[in-house]
Structure 1
Amino acid sequence: MKKLSFKKIDWYLTGILVLAAFLYGWGIWDAGSANSYYTAAITSMTQSWHNFWYGAFDPAGFITVDKPPIALWFMAISAKIFGIHGWSVVLPSVLAGIGSVALLYKLITPKFGPWAGRLAALVMTLTPTVVANSRTNNMDAILVFFLLLAVYTLTKAVAKKKFWLVLIAFAIIGIAFNIKMLQAFMILPAMLVFYWVAIKLPWKKKVAWLVAAMASLGIFTVAYPAAVDSVSTANRPYIGSSQTNSLMELAFGYNGTERLLGQSTGTGGSFSGMGGKNSKKSGSNGGNGAPTGTKPSGTKNSTTNTNSNGQAPTGNGQNATNSNSKNAPTPPSGSTKGQAPSGANGSKSSNGAPSKPSGSKNGAPTGTKPSGKMGNPGGKGGKGGMAGGGNSAFAIGSAGPFRLFQSDLGSQIGWFLPFAFLGMGAGWWAFRKKGSKWYSISEEQADVLLWAGWFVPVYGFFSVASFFHPYYTIMLAPAIAALTAIAAVAIAKMVKEGGKKQGMVAKSLLALTLTGTAALQAYYAWSYYPVAGIIILILAIAISALWFVNKVVNNKLKIALSIVVVALLSGFWALTPTLSHNSAAIPAASPSLLSSRGSSDMGGQVDSELLAYTKKNQGSAKYLFATTDSNSASGYIIKSGKAVMALGGYNGTDPTMTLSEFKQLVKSGQLKYFVLGNTKSSTGDISKILAWVKKNGKQVSYSSSSSKTSTQSSGMTGGMGMGGQSGSSTLYDLSAAFK
């Protein structure tokens, strides 16, 4: 048995991993319910194997979440071991984030050396969206870990010429499909190209192995969805956010083509403000959740927003609470005496954009100016908005080839983009086989193709796609980090070995990229810290000039200074979720987080009096109550552990049952209460059910006082919901409907 040698430990990597653990894990004890939509599912999944297998949103197994459950399995296991807490459901994402940093180091080091591996690991660690994603119970950090694991396995398969490793590599992509569906397939072109050019096999064997690998991919991709879809719908939950109760339809519809073309199902129409021309018209949200782009009203002490119908929305404590106030107000219930809050959803205007918040000294910020248009560098509002990094669910800039450079997305992922482009070009040139045919590819060039093959299709998707959230851009982080490291070693190689002319070209490319990167970062930081941005730009220009001065500063020091100057602002941005202990449903890094603390969720709000009343009077009913959407139900599931029916799924419009089926549920005594909110977006059978509830149900007054008592599950700050209902809500007793 070999003894562990401390000399073999890469202490630089160890330090980077410790930094990653701090950035991703510090303060997660304040995670509250993190993303309460998924935390409610985790709560349900810990109660039965049936719920665990299907990823059921509610303890009764009525409906699933809108993704397959593999990532949630890890979270549910963690919650089963440690109990259901914000930190326990976030822990798997923290570990996945750290694991991704380590895997990236292992991927880069063999071909480009340990310093390249360390630099790639550091860039990955300090990418703001990676930090934000690794601090939530969303699935993206776990997805990226699995994708890197697949690529790592493939590189080992190529190096060792092992057939079984090729099969495993593509099988892992199939498993990753069951984390976030087609998003996992975005790196398939990279893996296929790398396999074909890098593995040294006779072409017939190469083709045979590839065919087998595709079969492995197909089996592991469809095994779970086929197993679920083959079960009778009477014996499993409804597949949330699908329109035909099918997991395969969910994969290729809501989580497939609609991500590219714009969401058109489950919402009653596309969301406004999702890319293209519409994105320029919609306001963006600040990192603390306060919507910007509209002037707040000046009500001095109001904590209540109004929607397009003049109703008071509920559950958007995130929007209504000024994080700068010393005494943050209780999240508004948005309801009158005897009425129930919708529990999760911020109000929206008729076009789907967030409504205008009221000003408040101790509530929503007063006197703030609107932020700039999406895709603009901060507008005039600056600090309140997405400019320089915020937390709007659909602040994705204007579609086009430079969308990822715009402040909305760039402030989360774009900090090292110029170096990624340099890495593709300089890496290919510096590591070419000199004197060989143009089609003769070196091992290093094969790796450049691998990371370029990851980067280019994903970059292209985010440039044109119409329906995604900014935090999805974590998909680009490994490729950007890898190409940045490759750029550094390629330039160093060109300077050292290329002679005077090529060395000058290399230095010029580095100087331009360094200055351009600093300018881009100053652009992202401008609305918050214009002076810091200017200082960084000046330092970058000075260090760029040093590269043309010989015998004054050695190259190692120049490299260190170059890394420091481009890592300062990115590192600070990445630190903001950690310093604020933030764990958000829509994760983002931004200095605006520094004026708040803890979780920022879209749902999870609980009216304690409603909960107490329904628990006391539930009787033998299967469900505590039913409500219109998942965000309205999530907090009650987490708080009580009881079944709450989210009739219309996440957006409140899933066709889960017909009116006759709903009537039978009520008649059989399985459902006694219904919390009904704004029904404006409801369609089809759901609309008919809500109309029947209003007509046949009896309104219940359950409040003991005129002052509503509204709390967040796990004590977190509420937030604006994207789907489902908003506005004031009413509790209906349905038990007398058939008497």
Structure 2
Amino acid sequence: MTSATDPHPHPETETGTAASTDRPPSAPPAAPPDKAPRWSLPALLAILALAGVLYGWNLSGNSLNSFYSAAIYSGTQSWKAWFFGSLDAGNFLTVDKPPFALMVMGLSCRVFGFGTWQMMAPEIAAALGTIWILHASVKRYFGHVAAAVAALVLALTPITVAINRDNNPDTLLVLLMVGGAALALRAVRTDRLLPLIGSAVLFGLAFNTKMLQGYIALPAVFAVYVYASRLGWRKKAVNLALAAVALAVSSFWWATAVSLVPADDRPYIGGSTDGSAWNLIMGYNGLGRVLGGEGNGGGGGGGGSFAGTAGIGRMFNDVLGGQISWLIPFALLSLAAGLVLCGRAPRTDPTRAALALWGGWLVLHYLTFAMAEGTMHPYYTTALAPGIAALCGGGGVMLWRAFRGRDARWSWVLPTGLAVTGVWAVVLLRRATGWNTWLWPVVGVVMVLAIVGLFVFRTAASGTRLRLLRVSVAAALVAALAGPTAYAASPAFSATTGGMGGTNPTAGPSTGGGTGGPGGGRGGFAGGGPGGEMPGVTRQGSGQAGGELPGGNGGGNGQMQPGGGTGELPQGGAPGGANGEFPGGGTAPGGTDTDAGTGTGTTRGGPGGGGGMGGSLDSALISYLEKHQDGAKWLLAVSNSQSAGQLILSTHKPVISMWGFTGSDRAMTLARLKELVKNGELHYIQLGGGGMGGNSTLNQEITTWVQKNGTAVKASDYGTTASTGSTSQTTTSTIYRLDPSDVT
């Protein structure tokens, strides 16, 4: 039982007691009671069940990222590929990320077999674990109501739902970072070393999931520990030094192990400029993401255009607004007001420490992603969601307490935050032209009625007026979450959404291509819907390319030719079974081949593909290559990792990606190619008539040598006649046969 004079009353008791009106608004919220209310655990389980449905419903029909799917499959075939994160089981080239997430999914597929569910089970478990950890952490500092709100907000964040249905590493990344933040807060509260060490280890594993992105929240963790811990400065310095050692070990063990393996005995590290993991850390997956540069689409071009132009308002533009921005204004208001409400609380106050950490988390991620000049995909912003959720839950409860207090000045803050949230929700919903047009008026009306109810019944202490006050609060919550919920439900329950499968997963309708939000600039690409253009892809009949894919060429007639290959953009999935169908219902890129082995036909395949961005090969040509592989380690060498990934999934054989994901890796040199051919490890190479991406000098050397010494594979060699009815092409690709005798 909480007394009227208790400076830390429990939030759940506030609406039913007169004591709430006697409390100064500056008092921080209390630690939760010893006994949780009966509804708390059922509410959490219900939220987890809802999240499980959103993340797993119709998952077998989902298009996964063939780039990562191929690496996971290769890891089931070779422990060396599993350790290095190789795209192919022959270990020519790795993916452009450290392999920790692939290792987890790969182990699942090792145990249960390779397939969509086997691959995605660890991802869904990680997503649910993130909700559980955030709920537990918020509950500790703000109470059960705040924890339930935070868990619900996180579960319903649209971009979080989209990425948690995909095999990108971001889901595991967020779990590790949230776990690290929760342990850091525990270290501040308990003054124990072990939670701090655990926090450092988790952030180090996050580094081995997406490198420097895993460190974005670390400055906030460090600052909160230094400021709020009750330990003396000498003890804090010792603890931080030990944590730094743990962070370094858990961060750099993989890169160190890779560097100890001679270059000739390891695959080329994808995304690097020299084949080393250290270069990948500092460049492509480090400062290159923020400053732009080689392979990172700097200056808002290339990969940067996936999320619109860099600028402080980027999170509110047409591309990202509907994915992540719904509750950012309310979260920032809750942060600022919460810190003020903490007033003159002691330096070690755990509530202020929690606000500062989650606020720092949100601000640091926001600024990093908003100002990034390099490659920026919408799904990166899922990392903002835990900070938004924690502030909406914890800060929202603090605003509620202040609203119910006697200081009339605070009675306007919560309604103002709700009003801004409602207005912004209406703006976002109206951007989606023709999509659920009934929703935005309902959101607006419900939010207005809820705010009116808050003012009318603000001082209610019991009876009907108190029940109506609770109804008003519930209505405000429903209005605030209706928009993001509608977006979040679309990946699981809608046949047509804005997302482009596993390559660039998003939720909700396509809204990209316009100018949205302050400083947002052109939306760029939001899944290829109306008005949204993908680099290297033109809209039907436009006659102009929407921008080039790094290392590739812009195509006409809605085609994409990364690295000079040809083939239509996949619309729904991956290479599939004998008829080109993916087991979950997706279809492979279609078309028929022209003479000389053009890569435009259907492919054969298995589970786990989809969302690829490269051209495909005719099934008859694939059969020909398999029949005439003649003991070679690799079936074929192609220009980029997207094409290679799809072919690996189609054939279950190693395929070389010569220039990596962006087409700028220098993995293949003429000397290396000659060595592979001379040793009989590679017989077939695909050349793109419009160039192959990568280093222009290497391209020209290899192209010239292959055309001079190789023999072109003709359609008549594998029993296919010239194409009929295929879409027009600006570029063709040709398969060449090379034998040891061709090396001079």
User: How high is the TM-score relative to the length of structure 1?
Assistant: 0.76
| 1:487 Cα offset (Å) | 2.9
Give the whole-Å Cα distance in 2 for the aligned partners of 1:115 and 1:607. Answer: 57
Residue 565 of structure 1 pairs with residue 472 of structure 2:
no
What letter corresponds to residue 402 of structure 1 in structure 2?
Answer: G
Give the aligned partner of residue 114 of structure 1: 144
Give the whole-Å Cα distance in 2 for the aligned partners of 1:255 and 1:81. Answer: 31
| Greater CA drift, 167-176 or 82-91 | 82-91
Structure 1 residues 7 and 486 mapped into 2: Cα distance closer, same or farther (>3 Å)? closer
Give the whole-Å Cα distance in 2 for the aligned partners of 1:235 and 1:403. Answer: 43
Q: Report the secondary structure of 1:223's partner residue.
A: helix
| 1:690 Cα offset (Å) | 2.2
| 1:96 Cα offset (Å) | 1.3
| 1:703 Cα offset (Å) | 4.0
Give the whole-Å Cα distance in 1 for the aligned partners of 2:730 and 2:145. Answer: 52
Deviation track 1:239-260 (CA, whole Å, cap 9, x = no partner) reads 0111111111101101111111
Q: Give 1:336-415 correspondences, 5 Å limit.
A: 394-415=305-326
Give the aligned partner of residue 650 of structure 2: 639
What letter corresponds to residue 449 of structure 1 in structure 2?
Answer: A
- Of residues 449, 454, 469, the one that matches 2:377 is 469
Give the whole-Å Cα distance in 2 for the aligned partners of 1:48 and 1:192. Answer: 39
| 1:190 Cα offset (Å) | 1.5
Give the aligned partner of residue 399 of structure 2: 491
Give the aligned partner of residue 19 of structure 1: 50
| 1:523 Cα offset (Å) | 4.3
Give the whole-Å Cα distance in 1 for the aligned partners of 2:469 and 2:340. Answer: 21
8 Å contact kept, 1:422–1:513: no
| 1:39 Cα offset (Å) | 0.9
| Greater CA drift, 475-484 or 400-409 | 400-409
Give the whole-Å Cα distance in 1 for the aligned partners of 2:269 and 2:349. Answer: 47
Give the aligned partner of residue 679 of structure 1: 691
- Of residues 597, 611, 624, the one that matches 1:613 is 624
Give the aligned partner of residue 100 of structure 2: 70
| 1:530 Cα offset (Å) | 4.2
Deviation track 1:714-738 (CA, whole Å, cap 9, x = no partner) reads xxxxxxxxxxx99421111112524
Q: Report the secondary structure of 1:427's partner residue.
A: helix
8 Å contact kept, 1:157–1:163: yes
Give the aligned partner of residue 665 of structure 2: 654
Deviation track 1:644-678 (CA, whole Å, cap 9, x = no partner) reads 11112222332124312321221222211112223
What letter corresponds to residue 59 of structure 2 in structure 1?
Answer: I
Deviation track 1:518-548 (CA, whole Å, cap 9, x = no partner) reads 3343344456344422332233223222222
Residue 627 of structure 1 pairs with residue 656 of structure 2:
no
Residue 731 of structure 1 pairs with residue 735 of structure 2:
yes
- Of residues 400, 424, 428, the one that matches 1:521 is 428
Give the whole-Å Cα distance in 1 for the aligned partners of 2:159 and 2:402. Answer: 32
| Greater CA drift, 397-406 or 576-585 | 576-585
Deviation track 1:59-115 (CA, whole Å, cap 9, x = no partner) reads 111111101100001110111122221232222221111111111101100111111
| 1:197 Cα offset (Å) | 2.6
Give the whole-Å Cα distance in 2 for the aligned partners of 1:213 and 1:186. Answer: 17
Give the aligned partner of residue 197 of structure 2: 167
Q: Which runs of 5+ in 1 are unaligned?
A: 279-351, 353-391, 711-724
Give the whole-Å Cα distance in 2 for the aligned partners of 1:126 and 1:225. Answer: 36
8 Å contact kept, 2:639–2:692: no
| 1:395 Cα offset (Å) | 3.0
Q: Give 1:260-271 correspondences, 5 Å limit.
A: 260-262=290-292, 264-266=293-295, 271=297
8 Å contact kept, 2:326–2:421: no
| 1:180 Cα offset (Å) | 0.2
Q: Report the secondary structure of 1:111's partner residue.
A: helix
Give the aligned partner of residue 28 of structure 1: 59
Structure 1 residues 271 and 161 mapped into 2: Cα distance closer, same or farther (>3 Å)? closer
Structure 1 residues 96 and 393 mapped into 2: Cα distance closer, same or farther (>3 Å)? farther
Structure 1 residues 732 and 507 mapped into 2: Cα distance closer, same or farther (>3 Å)? closer
What letter corresponds to residue 618 of structure 1 in structure 2?
Answer: Q
Give the whole-Å Cα distance in 2 for the aligned partners of 1:99 and 1:556. Answer: 30
Aligned identity (percent) is 34
8 Å contact kept, 1:625–1:671: yes
Structure 1 residues 7 and 511 mapped into 2: Cα distance closer, same or farther (>3 Å)? closer
Structure 1 residues 410 and 67 mapped into 2: Cα distance closer, same or farther (>3 Å)? same
Structure 1 residues 398 and 640 mapped into 2: Cα distance closer, same or farther (>3 Å)? closer
Give the whole-Å Cα distance in 2 for the aligned partners of 1:522 and 1:658. Answer: 51
Structure 1 residues 414 and 9 mapped into 2: Cα distance closer, same or farther (>3 Å)? closer
8 Å contact kept, 1:43–1:76: yes
Give the aligned partner of residue 719 of structure 2: 704
What letter corresponds to residue 380 of structure 2 in structure 1?
Answer: Y
Give the aligned partner of residue 691 of structure 1: 704
What letter corresponds to residue 66 of structure 1 in structure 2?
Answer: D
Give the aligned partner of residue 546 of structure 1: 453
Deviation track 1:217-239 (CA, whole Å, cap 9, x = no partner) reads 11221121011012100111110
Give the whole-Å Cα distance in 2 for the aligned partners of 1:604 and 1:199. Answer: 56
Deviation track 1:255-300 (CA, whole Å, cap 9, x = no partner) reads 11111122x324xxx648x63xx6xxxxxxxxxxxxxxxxxxxxxx
| 1:637 Cα offset (Å) | 1.2
Give the aligned partner of residue 715 of structure 1: none
Structure 1 residues 654 and 12 mapped into 2: Cα distance closer, same or farther (>3 Å)? same
8 Å contact kept, 2:422–2:479: no
Give the whole-Å Cα distance in 2 for the aligned partners of 1:156 and 1:514. Answer: 32
What letter corresponds to residue 195 of structure 1 in structure 2?
Answer: Y
Q: Which runs of 5+ in 2 are unaligned?
A: 1-35, 511-526, 530-570, 573-584, 587-609
Give the aligned partner of residue 297 of structure 1: none
How many residues matched?
A: 597
8 Å contact kept, 2:66–2:645: yes
Higher relative contact order (CA 8 A, sep 6+): 1
Structure 1 residues 219 and 28 mapped into 2: Cα distance closer, same or farther (>3 Å)? same
What letter corresponds to residue 419 of structure 1 in structure 2?
Answer: F
Give the aligned partner of residue 593 of structure 2: none
What letter corresponds to residue 742 of structure 2 in structure 1?
Answer: A
Give the whole-Å Cα distance in 2 for the aligned partners of 1:547 and 1:214. Answer: 48
Give the whole-Å Cα distance in 2 for the aligned partners of 1:555 and 1:631. Answer: 55
Structure 1 residues 508 and 8 mapped into 2: Cα distance closer, same or farther (>3 Å)? closer
Structure 1 residues 420 and 727 mapped into 2: Cα distance closer, same or farther (>3 Å)? farther
8 Å contact kept, 2:162–2:507: yes
Give the aligned partner of residue 566 of structure 2: none
Give the whole-Å Cα distance in 1 for the aligned partners of 2:634 and 2:735. Answer: 14
Deviation track 1:21-74 (CA, whole Å, cap 9, x = no partner) reads 000011111235x11111111111111221111111111111111011000011
Deviation track 1:543-602 (CA, whole Å, cap 9, x = no partner) reads 222222136563321111100011111101000111147852211002359996755443
8 Å contact kept, 2:105–2:122: yes
| 1:165 Cα offset (Å) | 2.1
Give the whole-Å Cα distance in 1 for the aligned partners of 2:99 and 2:414. Answer: 49
Give the whole-Å Cα distance in 1 for the aligned partners of 2:339 and 2:203. Answer: 27
- Of residues 587, 594, 609, the one that matches 2:505 is 587
